[in-house]
Structure 1
Amino acid sequence: MSNPFEELSERLLNIEKILFELNFRDNLQFKSSNSSHPLTVKEAAEFLNLAVPTIYSLVSKRKLPVNKRGNKLYFYEQELSEWVKTGRKKTLHEIDNTAFLTKGKSQVS
């Protein structure tokens, strides 16, 4: 017969795991439901891990997607994420593949 304390401990661990997973899912749903919520300058700076003056500088240079109402600036996480993705640098492997494909096309033509 197994130790009742071990069985109890195992059951508690399973309950903790289930509660953790439920809490994690709830947090994801909360974040995704608020993704259309506009961010302030400070929140955008925190989201991008940049200083607030850097945000203002990028906005003034029209490099950062922004919405403006009166004197207030608003940002959306989706647009900020896309902006970050557009700055992606290719890996050496991707550059080599592109060069290889381009070189092959010019010889075929």
Structure 2
Amino acid sequence: MNNPFEPINARLNNLEALTLEVLQLLRSPNQSASDQIGGIELAAQITRLSKARIYTLVSERAIPHKKRGNRLYFNRTELIAWVEQGNRQERGGLES
């Protein structure tokens, strides 16, 4: 007779192994996520803008990027700083 909890136990073991692997990657000093460099997909993920809009901003030189040949590169830290610069100031002196 098979143990009905065996598949659950196997999945829990798999989840535990994956969690330990992720923790190890997060703790590794090799390359932090803040220094990650990527392509248009990274820019779209961070800014939540469409690829077409990002290409427009690149052509206007309005978004931080690097270009090597025909490839675009974006730095996660620079993109986050760029997004944060877009924060609007609260209006002063207005009360409800």
Structures share a fold, TM > 0.5? yes
User: Higher relative contact order at CA 8 Å, sep ≥6: structure 1 or structure 2?
Assistant: 2
Report percent identity of matched pairs: 35
Deviation at 1:69, TM superposition (A): 0.8
Two-structure CA RMSD over aligned residues (Å):
2.4
Count of residues in Structure 1 that have an aligned counterpart in Structure 2: 72
Other-structure match for 1:89: 88
- TM-score when scaled to structure 2? 0.62
Q: Encode CA deviations 1:34-76: one digit per residue, 9 max, x unaligned.
A: 3222111122112211110111001111110001111100001
CA apart distance, 1:29: 4.1
**CA distance in 2 between partners of 1:38 and 1:54 (Å):** 19
Q: Distance in 2 between matches of 1:70 and 1:86?
A: 28
1:51 and 1:89, CA in 2 relative to 1: closer, same or farther beyond 3 A? same
The TM-score with structure 1 as length reference comes to 0.55
Gaps in structure 2 of 5+ consecutive residues: 1-15
Alignment correspondent of 1:41: 40
Does residue 62 of structure 1 match 2:61? yes
User: 2:42 touches 2:76 (CA, 8 Å); kept in 1?
Assistant: no
Does the residue aligned with 2:78 lie in a helix, a strand or coil? helix
Cα separation, partners in 2 of 1:66 and 1:91, compared to 1, 3 Å: same
1:90 match: secondary structure: coil
Contact 2:63/2:82 (<8 A) preserved: yes
SS of the residue 2:38 aligns to:
coil
**5+ unaligned residues in a row in structure 1: which ranges?**
1-18, 97-109
Deviation of 1:88 (Å): 1.1
